[in-house]
Amino acid sequence: MRIKEASPFLRRVRNMEVLRVQTIASKENDGAIPAIFVRAETEQPGMTTVKGVNLEVPIIDFSNPNEEKVLHEIVEASREWGMFQIVNHEIPSDVIRKLQSVGKEFFELPQEEKELIAKPAGSDSLEGYGTKLQKEINGKKGWVDHLFHIVWPPSSINYHFWPKNPSSYREVNEEYCKYLRGVVDKLFKSMSKGLGLEEDELKEVANEEEMLYLLKINYYPPCPLPDLVLGVPPHTDMSYLTILVPNEVQGLQASRDGRWYDVKYVPNALVIHVGDQMEILSNGKYKAVFHRTTVNKDKTRMSWPVFIEPKAEREVGPHPKLLNQDNPPKYKTKKYKDYAYCKLNKIPQ
């Protein structure tokens, strides 16, 4: 087992702002990895994963003609799990395959070409190609590079951060987003009715027309010591909802009863995460899922989450119709940008 920074190349890893995980993984270092990636034993997936058990989170058939059954399953999963997978969701498998293909092609480009759309130093926005995302209290790093950009609404898109290569990237992402909006609409309507509200009330209070669809492509290169590192550390998403497409390489884990389990991979399924803003809107009736990602020794894992978020200035708090003397607000109402700042900088809300 090699952890020490044994070469000039590994010593350069201290400058993590410019050195990408993909670059580190591509170098021959006799199986060594920089110490900055090695987790404490209490976090290492080799020590903390329940082995041999796939967590079978609820799988919901979106095409089931029994709409009441679908509604009940979505609401139950959102309350009890904060996570579920949907199949037969009307996004053609070919559309998903193309989304994965153009994302993979981007990450396989020469490094200097990827850097053309890097997140600018000091930018308050998440958009762009990069590595560092959020502050970790212990100073450790995740074994992942990423690309962020907004895919909806058109008024919020900055095409500077969309890859020009492959040339079909824009067309493919726009087609995926067109179908995705139908999935989001059905989820919001179901979750609204599950709270005892009219089907459009949750969308109205979230201001559907202004909701941002923020795509993130995660690229987790092979790692020689996968049991010691994490791709992304344990967290809940800040969004209302997250709709995630994974590739076939196992890596998503969820916490259940204080233990970590692999989430079963279901081909062509969409993985749905309840995020912090939905938990807040529902005043705690729906639960944001605590999850993390692991990496593989031999294979590259990728995922394509789309975070459905409020605009920065949008105030989010518990829905007024859910509050009364017996059910007071459990969360503060605050602007989303203030919530995000606190979360990313590990400041109590």
Catalytic site residue from 145, 237, 262, 276: 237
Distance CA 103, CA 303 (A): 9
- 301-309: strand order across its sheet: 59-61, 83-87, 270-274, 241-246, 301-309, 212-220, 145-152, 128-130
Question: Which of 98, 149, 273, 291 is the catalytic position?
Answer: 291
Whether omega for the bond prior to residue 153 falls within 30 degrees of 0, making it cis, is yes
φ and ψ at 35, to 5 degrees? -60, -25
Helices (H) and strands (E) in the chain, counts: 10, 15
Catalytic-residue membership of 237: yes
The single-letter DSSP state of residue 6 is: -
338 Cα distance to chain centroid: 20
Of the candidates 186, 193, 216, 319, the residue annotated as catalytic is: 216
Cβ(173)–Cβ(162) below 8 Å: yes
Helix (H, G, I), strand (E, B) or coil at 301: strand
The single residue of 235, 264, 334, 343 carrying the catalytic annotation is 235
Residue 229 CA to residue 296 CA, distance in Å, equals 10
Q: Which residues are designated catalytic?
A: 216, 235, 237, 291
